[in-house]
Structure 1
Amino acid sequence: MTTELLLGGVVYSPAAPDATAIAVTDGVVVWVGSDDVGRALHPDAHVVDLDGRFVAPGFVDSHVHLTSTGLALAGLTLNDATDRADCLRRVAAFAADTAEGELIWGLGWDDSSWTGSVPDDGRFPTTSEIDAIVGTLPVYLARIDEHSAVASTALRRLVPDLDDAVGYHPEEPLVAEAHHLVRGAARQLVTAAQRTRAQRRALDHAAAHGVVAVHENGGPDISGLDDFLALGALDHPVEVRRYWGQAVQSADHARELLAISHADALAGDLFIDGAIGSHTAWLTEPYHDDPGHTGISYLDYETIRDHIRACTEIGVQAGFHVIGDAATASVVAAFDELASDLGTPALARCAHRIEHAEMVSVDQAGVLARCGVVASMQPLFDAEWGGPGDLYEQRLGAARTAGLNNFAGHAREGLILAFSSDAPVTPIDPWSTIRAAVHHHQPRNAISARGAFAAATRGGWRAAGVNNGLTGTLVPGAPASYAVWEIDDLVVAGSHAGVQRWSTDPRSRVPALPDIAPGAHLPRCVRTIHRGHVLFDDGVVNGDIA
C-alpha cells in the first residue's frame, strides 16, 4: 500500500473542520486532521507540502455537451460579439482561414445583449448575410442556448425537404425540427478525428478547473448516436456518465435502447421544450416580447409519464430537459400520478432528474422532492441573463423573471440540487457557478456558499445516483477525488443574517470556503486528483503523486 500525506494547507472536510492535512492510501482517504498528528500516524508516507493551499472535494459538472464544448474551445466563438455587425465581422475573419468545403461550427451569439448604431445591429444575422460572407462554405452558428441556429445555404441544402420541417424559415434562425435536422447535417461534417480531439479538449479543460466527473447529455437531436458511442469508447481519466435523451414506451423498449446506446441512463436532454432565448421554452402565458407565442412542446403528457414508468420499472434514471412553466407543469403532473400508482419509494430509488428547472414553483418543487427527483441547474444562467433588462426580463417580463432559478426555494422544499454549466452554453467554471448561486440577481432565490458548494460536489454524485454519504466529501473511507487550489482568503458566510452570526462563531466548527464575493479573486486550480489518479497538475505543488 502507498500512502501520501498532504500537509500545511487547509482541507475542506466535515470530519475535521480545522484540518490542515489529509492522508490518502491507494486512492482512498484514510485520515484528515492536523500536520503533527498526520506525521505521527503516517511516518512512512510520501509527504506533499501544500504551502497553504486549499484542498477540497473535486467538482462534478452534471450537464455538459463535450464535443460541442471542445469545438467551441478551439473554434469560432461568438459570445463576445457586441452586435450583428460585429458577429458578421468575426465570421468573415474565421472564414478567411477556412478551406473550401470545410465546416464552420460557431457557437455563442446572443442577440438579447446586442446594441448598435443602427436598429438592425440588435437583431440576428440572416441566411443571406452569412452567404454573402462565406460563399459556398457550410456554416452552422448556434445561438448561445443551442436551441436555434443560423445556417448557410450550403449547409441547408444538405437536408432534403428542409423547408417542410417545423421551425423552418428561409432567412431567420432555424428552430425546432428544422434546427435539429441542420444540426445533424453539420455533425456529419465533423470527422471522427476532430470529434475525438474536441472531446479530449473538453475533458482536459474540465480537469484543469477541478472537475473530476461530468455528465454528458446526448440524444438524437443533440450529438447523435455515433458521437455518443465514441465518447463511451474514449479513454480519459475524467469520469464521464452518459445520459441518452430519447423517450421509451415500455420497460422492454428501455432495455433495448440501453443496450444499443450503452447509456448509463435514459435521461438528460430529452426535450419537453426548448429555451427562453430562442422563444421555444413552453410557457403557460405568451412571451412578453412575442405576445402571440407560447413556445414549443416536444413531448405530450402520456409520453412523459410512460417514459418515467418504463425507466422506474427497470430501476434506471429517467429525466427531461424542462425550462418553461408549462413544461414543468406537465412533468410534475406525471410524477405526481406515478407517485400514487408506483409509490414514491420506487421513484426515489431511481433518482430521476430534470435538467434546468428554471420555472419550478415552490409547490412543484415539493412534489418533485417527495419523488426523490434531482434538479440539475445552472446558476450561471442567472448571472448571464437574470439582471434588469437582460434576456429573462425581455422574454418574460419582470414578474415572471423574479421567480426563475429559485435555488433557495427548491432547497427549502427538499429538492436535491446539482449544479452544472450546460457547457458550451456557459463555461465549465465551478467557482463562478458557486458565486452566481450565492449572488443571485434575486437575493431571496440565493443559497449559501456551503449549499452551493455541496450542489457542485456531492449534488453531482447524487444526480448520478450515488448517495453513499462518502463520495463527494473528504472523510475517511471516501474516494480520494479532490482538487488543490491557490486562494486568497477563506471565509464563512451564511445565507441570511441569523445563519451568518452562528456560522462565523468559532463554536460552530463550520469549515471555511474561499471568498467568492463579487470582485474577489476566485481560486485557481493547481492539481486535480480522481480516485488517486492525476487528472491535472501544473507543477507548483512541492511533491509528486505516488
Structure 2
Amino acid sequence: MAVTDGTVVWVGADQPARALHPDAEIIDLDGAFVAPAFVDAHVHTTALGLKLTGLDLSGAGSVEQCLDLVRRFAEANPAGLIWGHGWDESRWPESRPPSVSEIDDVASGRLVYLSRIDAHSAVCSSALCAATPGLDAALGFSRTALLTAEAHHRVRMAALSALTPDQRAQARAAALDAAAANGIAAVHECAGPYISGPLDLRELLTTTHGVEVRAYWGEAVTDAEQARALLAETGAHGLAGDLFVDGSLGSHTAWLHEPYSDDPHAGTGNSYLDVDAIAAHVRACTEIGVQAGFHVIGDAAVSAVVDAIERVVAEVGGPAVAACGHRLEHVEMLTAAQAAKLGTWGVIASVQPGFDAAWGGDAGLYVDRLGVERAAAMNPFAAMAAAGVSLAIGSDAPVTALQPWSAIRAAVRHRTPGSAISPRASFSAATRGAWRAGGVRDGLAGTLVPGAPGSYAVWEADDLVVGAAADSVQRWSTDPRSRVPGLPRLDADDPDPTCLRTVHRGATIYER
C-alpha cells in the first residue's frame, strides 16, 4: 500500500508499487498486518480521561472494596475533587451502593462524586451535596439512596464545575492518547448540558490532537432557528448523541412498557421526552439538514422515537429524513417491525456490543432487571442489520472499555443465539459504518483502497487468517469484495491484537 498526502494511492503487489513510487519511505511491517483505523461512535472523552487518570472503581467487588479504593485515593491525592467511576452494585454481595455517610467516613470533608458504571446515577459525599444548588428531597435526594434523574444531573454538574482546567486538560489528553493507542483515528463525542457541559465541549474542540473528534450535543430544540443557534453556540456537528429519551437499565431509569422485574418501586422507569418533543427535534434538524439523534434504551422509549420519526416522515417525506442520517444511541430494545421502519428511513444505530458482553446472558443484569424473556431480546444486532439498519459500533467509554477488538468480538459472539452479526459486518460497523454514522458517506472512509483516506492501524497478532476463510465465529472473511483485509481470529480465549502504529490521514498519531 502506498500513501501520498494522506490518501491511499496504491494497493497491490510489492514490486510494482516500488517501481511506481521509487522515492517513497518504505515501512517494513515484519509480519504485522494493516487494517483500516477504527472509529469509536460513542465516547465521553473527559469522563473517560478522568477514569484513566483518577479513580477507577470497576474492579471493586463489594461496598467495602469500593470504599477502600476511595480511601486510598483520598490519601494519595489530598486536594481537589475526587471523581470516581465504574462501580456496579449488581455484582456485589450487599446489592447496594455506598451511602453518603460511608463516603464521608473515608474522605471526610472532601468533594466526592462516584458514578455508577452506566453513568446514569451516582453517590456522593455530603460536601458535594452541600455544594449542589437545589438538591432536595423533591428531586429524589436521599443520603442513603442512589441519585438518579434530575438529582444526579445537578450533582454531576456541580462535580464538573469543581474540576480545575488542568484536570480537564489532562483527562482529555489521556483519553485521546488511549484512543490512538487502540488503533482509533476518530471518536464521536456525545456531550450535553447534563453530561459534560458546554465549556468542556468547547475545550475539547480546541484541543490539538491527532485523533479526530466529531461532536454531538444532546439538547432538544423546537424549531430550525433554535437548532442553528445551538449548533453555533456549542460548535457541535449535530444535535444527537446522548439526548436522553430515557435513562439506563442498571439505574432503573430506562423507559419500559412493563415494570422492572426486580424492583416494584422503579415502575416503568423514566421518560424525559415525549413523542411531540422528539418529533419537533427531528423536524427542526431535518429542515436544516443536520443529524438529530437520541439516547434510547427501553422499549417504551424506542416506541416513542419510532412514532415521532414516523410522524416527521409523513410530513416531509422519507428521502428528506434519510438524507440526514439521523442516529439512535444504544437502541437496545426494539422489535423487527420497528427495525424495518428505521432501515427504511435511513436511521443509523450506534450500538455498544460491550453491553451484551457485560450484562447479557442467562444470568446477567439484563435478566435481573427484565426477566428472561425480555432480556433475550436485548441488542438484536442481526435483526437490525437484516432490516437494513446501518450499524456503528462504539464503546460508550468510560461505560465499557475503549477496546474496539473486544467490541467486535462481543458483536460476533453475542450471548443470545441469533442476535450476533458476522465478523465482516462487525468489523465494517467499527470502521466504515462508524465513519458513515459521523456523516462521512463517500464510500471510501474506513477502507484501504485507492482514493481512501490513509487512516489505518498496524497490528501484531498471534493468529492471522490470510486464506479464503469462512465467515463464521471462528474465522474472518477475506473476500476481496468486502474490502476487509486478512483479520485476526478472535475466539473467546484469544487476546486482542496489539497496536503497533496508528496513522490518520497519513500522519502517525501513535507508535509503540
1:505 CA drift (Å): 9.2
1:229 maps to 202
* 1:109 partnered with 2:82: no
Whole-angstrom CA distance in 1 between matches of 2:186 and 2:144: 40
Give the structure 2 partner of residue 479 of structure 1.
Answer: 453
For 1:210-221, list aligned pairs within 5 A: 210-221=183-194
Match of residue 150 from structure 1:
123
User: How many angstroms does 1:521 deviate by?
Assistant: 2.3
- 1:18 corresponds to: none
- The Cα offsets for residues 452-480 of structure 1, whole Å up to 9 and x where unpaired, read as 00000011111011111111100000110
Q: 2:386 corresponds to which residue? A: 412
1:302 Cα deviation (Å)? Answer: 0.7
Corresponding position of 1:494: 471
Q: Is 2:111–2:128's contact at 8 Å kept on the other side of the alignment?
A: yes
Identity over aligned residues, as a percent?
Answer: 57
* Equivalent AA in structure 2 for residue 94 of structure 1: F
Q: Retained in 2: the 8 A contact 1:62–1:215?
A: yes
- For residue 79 of structure 1, the aligned residue among 20, 35, 58 is 58
The alpha carbon displacement at 1:341 in A equals 1.2
User: 2: CA distance between counterparts of 1:464 and 1:283?
Assistant: 29
CA distance in 1, matches of 2:52, 2:185: 19
Correspondence for 2:238? 265
Counterpart of 2:491 (choices 513, 517, 520) is 517
Gaps of 5+ in 2: none
Structure 1 stretches of 4+ with a deviation exceeding 4 A read 502-511
Q: C-alpha separation between the residues in 1 aligned to 2:271 and 2:144?
A: 23
TM-score (norm 2): 0.96
Distance 2:138 2:176 in 1: 35
**CA distance, structure 1, for counterparts of residue 111 and residue 335 of structure 2:** 43
Coordinate RMSD, CA, aligned: 1.8
Q: Contact 1:405–1:445 (CA<8 Å) still a contact in 2?
A: yes
Pick which of 40-49 and 139-148 moved more: 40-49
Q: 1:173 deviation in Å?
A: 1.4
2:78 alignment partner in structure 1: 99
The correspondence of residues 47-446 of structure 1 with structure 2, limited to 5 A, is 47-100=26-79, 102-115=80-93, 121-292=94-265, 293-446=267-420
* Corresponding position of 1:35: 14
Q: Can you list the C-alpha shifts for 1:466-511, whole angstroms capped at 9, x where unaligned?
A: 11111110000011000000011123342489xx8x9689999974
Alpha carbons of 1:155 and 1:487: their partners in 2 closer, same or farther (altered >3 Å)?
same
Deviations 1:202-229 (A, max 9, x none): 0010000000000000000000111111
Shift of 1:291: 2.8
Separation of aligned partners in 1, 2:470 and 2:104? 53
In structure 2, how many angstroms separate the alpha carbons of the residues matched to 1:523 and 1:137? 41
Task: Name the CA shift for 1:25/1:93 in 2 (closer, same or farther; >3 Å).
Answer: same
**CA 41–255 in structure 1, closer or farther in 2 if over 3 Å, else same:** same
* Cα gap change, 1:503 to 1:216, in 2 (>3 Å): closer
- State the SS of the aligned residue for 1:203: helix
What letter matches 2:510 in structure 1? F
Q: Displacement of 1:84 after TM fit?
A: 1.2
d(CA) in 2 for partners of 1:503 and 1:430? Answer: 18
CA contact (8 A) 1:167 1:179 kept: no
- The answer on whether the counterparts of 1:446 and 1:495 sit within 8 Å (CA) in structure 2 is no
Distance in structure 2 (CA, Å) of the matches to 1:127 and 1:507: 57
Q: What TM-score, normalized by structure 1, do the two folds share? A: 0.90
2:429 is equivalent to residue 455 of structure 1: yes
Does the 8 Å CA contact 1:472/1:481 hold for their aligned counterparts?
yes
Counterpart CA distance in 2 for 1:384 and 1:506 is 33
Structure 1 unaligned regions, length at least 5 = 1-21, 116-120, 539-546
Evaluate the alpha carbon distance shift between residue 71 and residue 456 of structure 1 in structure 2; reply closer, same or farther with a 3 A threshold. Answer: same
- SS of 1:33's partner is coil
Question: For residues 431 and 42 of structure 2, what CA distance do their matches in structure 1 show?
Answer: 13
Bigger shift: 322-331 or 505-514? 505-514
Shift in CA distance, 279/243, structure 1 to aligned 2, threshold 3 Å: same
Alpha-carbon distance between aligned partners in 2 of 1:400 and 1:291, rounded to the nearest angstrom: 16
Aligned-residue offset at 1:36: 2.3
Determine helix, strand or coil for the equivalent of 2:501: strand
1:277-321 deviations in Å (ceiling 9; x for gaps): 000000000001013411000111111000000000000000000
Quote the offset at 1:146 in angstroms: 0.3
Query: 2: distance between equivalents of 1:504 and 1:345?
Result: 34
Opposite residue 21 of structure 2, the aligned amino acid is H
Kept in 2, the 8 Å contact 1:151–1:173? The answer is: no
Shift of 1:532: 0.7
Count of aligned pairs between the two proteins: 508
Give, in angstroms, the shift of residue 123 of structure 1. 1.8
Cα offset for 1:339? 1.3
Equivalent position amino acid for 2:287 in 1: E
Q: Secondary structure at the match of 1:184?
A: helix
SS in structure 2 of the partner of residue 276 of structure 1: coil
1:46 to 13, 18, 25: 25
What secondary structure, in the 3-state scheme, does the structure 1 residue paired with 2:11 have?
strand
